[in-house]
């Protein structure tokens, strides 16, 4: 029987997996809840729902931070546990993992070791740069395009990649993503209203409002703690406050995009000026974001369909297309292995 192949896009917020044999893609929150710092209480979406609601002896841990693995053992445990549910990884399978480019070799190797030295007994582990997987994910023929700009705005990072003829020309990992937006919203609400809200509430505010559309008058009622009286309460948050909070972290992303375009070689840049910027990652779901970026950067911006699944769809295509698999994936054990050759 043929071996199964899995494609993994491990994100700060969610893990996305392509399962070749079952021919399906699934995702789950990258969160683990521990009891008494020793026992796994729950993992994935279930653990995320417990965040900020759990009793003192249950700690909710996010094993990744800003796109890289921060707690290796927890991450390995989480992956192992998710796989024991009906999702189950078959033993001795092959894995293709999408990794960020602009991180250290040690951080990249951690993605590799995560699977290679696990109880899954992987037959082989290969890695691919996420920028390439993203481009393939929305159907670009990367080998023939002379200039592609991808901005993957995720839960803890914004990864910018410039590609040309199947290779990465420039790449930068900006440590700003959903988590930083949510923190900015919670901070401004605290200062402006003397009202404490949690991360999940901040996320809800950001998601439920069309933060960048024309609407200026709406507001949302949220629960939290009134810092003056010290008791749990509800308050109304206007859209303008959420918008103001998001401005700084978002402008950081805009500045990074501009400076990357400035550094792009002229020929490649001409290609990008024709095709525009492709927006992927979960944050791309924010309504009106592409228009905001277009106005700030001065280039067309396209949001791809299902932006958070773009990279894992790319992994699917890479796994199913022999030529891509051969050209774009590497084993970190190969002697000639080097990034950005």
Ligand X SMILES: Nc1ncnc2c1ncn2[C@@H]1O[C@H](COP(=O)(O)OP(=O)(O)OP(=O)(O)O)[C@@H](O)[C@H]1O
Phi, psi (deg, nearest 5) at residue 41:
-90, -50
- Residues 6 or more apart from 14 whose CB is under 8 A from it? 27, 28, 29, 30, 155, 282, 308
Q: Which does 249 bind (CB under 5 to 8 A by kind): ligand X, Mg ion, none?
A: none
Taking the C-alpha atoms of residue 299 and residue 274, their distance in angstroms, rounded to an integer, is 9
CA distances from 283 to 185, 288, 324, 337 (A): 15, 11, 28, 32
Return the number of the residue (7 or 154) whose C-beta is nearest Mg ion.
Answer: 154
Return the number of the residue (64 or 169) whose C-beta is nearest ligand X.
Answer: 64
In the complex, which residues of this chain contact ligand X (CB under 6 A)? 11-14, 67, 154-157, 177-178, 203, 207, 281-283, 285-286, 308
Instruction: Check: CB of residue 18 under 8 Å from CB of residue 316.
Output: yes
Least distance from C-beta 245 to Mg ion, angstroms?
22
Least distance from C-beta 224 to Mg ion, angstroms?
29
CA distances from 125 to 13, 128, 247, 330, 334 (A): 23, 10, 40, 8, 11
Return the number of the residue (62 or 324) whose C-beta is nearest ligand X.
Answer: 62
Least distance from C-beta 178 to Mg ion, angstroms?
10
Q: Which does 286 bind (CB under 5 to 8 A by kind): Mg ion, ligand X, none?
A: ligand X
Least distance from C-beta 278 to ligand X, angstroms?
14
What is the DSSP-derived secondary structure letter of residue 4?
P
| Residue of the chain from 7, 11, 44, 224 that contacts Mg ion (CB under 5 A) | 11
Least distance from C-beta 154 to Mg ion, angstroms?
4
| Residue of the chain from 147, 154, 156, 224 that contacts Mg ion (CB under 5 A) | 154
Residues that bind Mg ion (CB under 5 A): 11, 154
């Amino acid at each position: 029987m043929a071996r199964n192949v899995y494609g993994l896009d491990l994100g700060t917020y969610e893990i996305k997996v392509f399962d070749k044999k079952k021919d399906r893609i699934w995702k789950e929150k990258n969160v683990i809840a521990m009891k008494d710092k020793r026992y796994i209480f729950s993992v994935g979406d279930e653990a995320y729902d417990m965040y900020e609601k759990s009793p003192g002896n249950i700690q909710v841990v996010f094993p990744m931070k800003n796109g890289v693995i921060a707690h290796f053992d927890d991450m390995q445990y989480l992956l192992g546990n998710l796989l024991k549910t009906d999702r189950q990884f078959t033993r001795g399978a092959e894995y293709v993992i999408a990794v960020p480019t602009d991180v250290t070799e040690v951080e990249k190797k951690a993605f590799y070791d995560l699977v290679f030295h696990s109880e899954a007994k992987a037959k082989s582990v290969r890695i691919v740069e996420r920028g390439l997987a993203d481009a393939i994910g929305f159907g670009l023929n990367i080998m023939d395009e002379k200039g592609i700009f991808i901005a993957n705005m995720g839960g803890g990072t914004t990864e910018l990649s410039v590609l040309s003829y199947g290779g990465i020309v420039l790449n930068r990992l900006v440590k700003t993503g959903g988590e930083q937006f949510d923190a900015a919203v919670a901070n401004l609400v605290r200062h402006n209203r003397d009202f404490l809200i949690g991360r999940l509430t901040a996320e809800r505010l950001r998601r439920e409002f069309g933060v960048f559309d024309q609407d200026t008058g709406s507001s949302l009622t949220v629960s939290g703690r009134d810092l003056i009286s010290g008791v749990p309460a509800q308050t109304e948050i206007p859209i303008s406050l959420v918008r103001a909070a998001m401005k700084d972290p978002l402008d950081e992303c805009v500045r990074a995009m501009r400076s990357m375009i400035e550094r792009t070689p002229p020929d490649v840049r001409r290609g990008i000026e024709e095709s525009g910027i492709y927006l992927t990652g979960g944050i791309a779901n924010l309504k009106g974001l592409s228009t905001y970026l277009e106005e700030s950067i001065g280039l067309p911006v396209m949001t791809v369909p299902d932006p958070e699944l773009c990279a894992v769809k790319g992994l699917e295509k890479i796994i199913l297309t022999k030529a891509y698999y051969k050209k774009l994936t590497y084993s970190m054990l190969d002697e000639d292995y080097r990034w950005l050759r």
